[in-house]
Structure 1
Amino acid sequence: MIETNALTAANARRWQNAKLTRNCARVARHLVTQNAKARYRAVSTKTGVPWAVIAVIHQRECSQDWTGSLAQGDPWNRVSVHVPAGRGPFRSWEEAAIDALVNCAPYAARNKDWSIGGTLTMLEQYNGLGYAARGRPSPYIWSGTDQYRSGKYVRDGVYDPDVVDSQPGCAGLLMAMMALDPTITFTGATIAPPISVKPTPAAKPAAPSIANPAKGSIGAFIANILNAVFRRKS
């Protein structure tokens, strides 16, 4: 049996050490658009699940297809055939999403720990704890980061250690979304700050020359005399 507190701590540590190995920004931009965010927030208001979490589940389950259910990607206007099976039909994507979060395991709407470790553990439970049981980082969470290399359940109960998940994982997506939308926050979650630009150094004063003698030098003394002579003549 997986001890969720230990998994939460492990996921929090992985987050602090994780670096993106894949560009997740293109997908993240679709998840944070104004229209998408409004729909996710409507479901968040009904369930208490953070809208950004709903967004990454939507991406992982059905590549943000609005005709697919948040529960497993099946069309929400028909009875689902994949686990969880027998759900629906529903009248809208939002209604199906609320059902998935409230009535289907792991019952995300009941979660009270939305720290980054708790969030990632809830997302891992959403996909299943088979990877944690093997002591492996879940590609559902860590694909696209240096915390994951290979290993994937290619179908229910069948694990292939050599297969690499091609989809960006939830952690990488959240990192990219947080960089685009600073309103997305989780307790204990930080992302690398943007590269700072060093200020341009002040221009060095020109070296002394005949045309620009150093102050207090003999050259400056002679230049002052010549200037005075030419002013009198003019």
Structure 2
Amino acid sequence: MTIDLTALKADNLARWQRARSTSDFASVARRLVTGKSRYQAVSVQAGVPWYVIAVIHERESSQSWTASLAQGDPWDHVSVHVPAGRGPFKSWEDAAVDALVNCAPYAARWKDWSIGGTLTLLEQYNGLGYARRGVPSPYIWAGTDQYRSGKYVRDGVYDPDAVDKQLGCAGLLLAMKALDASIFPSTASVPSVPPPSQATPAQPPSIAHPAKGSIGDLVASLVRAVILTFKRS
């Protein structure tokens, strides 16, 4: 079943707009914001917003700096979980760049970092099995009123009664945004011209400044021509 990502973006945005926290995200949000400089170093190389990297890090490995962003395996060993066969790497940052650039869903190629687009990329990072079932992904919505139960307890096995105890990405981003204004910054542009109430009023026509195309403008042109001829003689 092919998922309509445009429709999923709209669904995720609508859920974001009405979501309310049912868990305490504050302490984890503060911890993730504290790691901002390390996430920014990866962001520069991969082109993925730092706060997206932060919430993936939390979901995949509870922000362990010894674990890969790709699947939580130790980054200084060859990974055994999907994506398997990655590494070893020289640093957490190198492993993170590899995860974002070279591993599905290839977050470094994603271009839509709006709220709906970001949440949809994050959902793809975990897999679209929930979207195929038409239910909210706990990877995104756990800890909010948009999620109650339902979880893939292992690959391909969905338990409708299981509850994801990890905090979801949406609630984490909401809590982080309250601490750091660079998260989902405003894209509103400054008007290129002032509004009518602030614009400089046009100068009314006068003898010194006749309206263009008027008889006064014609007479003024003739006078200027005469004066210019006189100066040249």
Q: TM-score range by the shorter chain?
A: 0.7 to 0.9
Alpha carbons of structure 1 residues 187 and 159: separation in structure 2 relative to 1, 3 Å: farther
- Amino acid across the alignment from 1:3: D
Judge conservation of contact 1:116–1:186 (CA < 8 Å) in 2: no
C-alpha deviation, 1:187, in angstroms:
6.0
User: % of aligned pairs identical?
Assistant: 74
Q: Distance in 1 between matches of 2:154 and 2:90?
A: 29
- Alignment root-mean-square deviation, CA: 1.0
What is aligned with 1:86? 85
What is aligned with 1:193? none
What is aligned with 1:143? 142
C-alpha deviation, 1:182, in angstroms:
1.6
Alignment map for 1:34-49 (pairs within 5 Å) = 36-49=35-48
Judge conservation of contact 1:43–1:94 (CA < 8 Å) in 2: yes
- Amino acid across the alignment from 1:154: V
- Amino acid across the alignment from 1:111: W
C-alpha deviation, 1:186, in angstroms:
5.1
- Amino acid across the alignment from 1:47: A
Q: Distance in 2 between matches of 1:165 and 1:143?
A: 6
Q: Secondary structure at the match of 2:153?
A: strand
- Amino acid across the alignment from 1:148: Y
Deviations 1:167-199 (A, max 9, x none): 1100000000001112212569xxxxxxxxxxx
Deviations 1:122-172 (A, max 9, x none): 000000000000000000000000000000001111110001110110000
- Structure 1 consecutive aligned stretches of length 4 or more whose deviation exceeds 4 Å: none
- Amino acid across the alignment from 2:155: D
Q: Distance in 1 between matches of 2:12 and 2:52?
A: 15
- Amino acid across the alignment from 2:15: R
- Amino acid across the alignment from 2:146: Q
Alignment map for 1:185-196 (pairs within 5 Å) = 185=184
What is aligned with 2:226? none
Q: Distance in 2 between matches of 1:186 and 1:95?
A: 27
Alignment map for 1:60-79 (pairs within 5 Å) = 60-79=59-78
Q: Secondary structure at the match of 2:158?
A: strand
Deviations 1:88-145 (A, max 9, x none): 0000000000000000000000000000000000000000000000000000000000
What is aligned with 1:210? none
What is aligned with 1:58? 57
Q: Secondary structure at the match of 2:166?
A: coil
- Amino acid across the alignment from 2:12: N
- Amino acid across the alignment from 1:14: R
Aligned residue-pair number: 186
C-alpha deviation, 1:64, in angstroms:
0.2
Q: Distance in 1 between matches of 2:98 and 2:19?
A: 32
Q: Distance in 2 between matches of 1:187 and 1:160?
A: 39
Q: Distance in 1 between matches of 2:178 and 2:46?
A: 25
What is aligned with 2:3? 2
- Amino acid across the alignment from 1:99: D
Alpha carbons of structure 1 residues 112 and 187: separation in structure 2 relative to 1, 3 Å: farther
Give 5+ residue unaligned stretches, structure 1. Answer: 189-234
Q: Distance in 1 between matches of 2:56 and 2:186?
A: 19
Judge conservation of contact 1:115–1:186 (CA < 8 Å) in 2: no
C-alpha deviation, 1:62, in angstroms:
0.1
Alpha carbons of structure 1 residues 170 and 187: separation in structure 2 relative to 1, 3 Å: farther
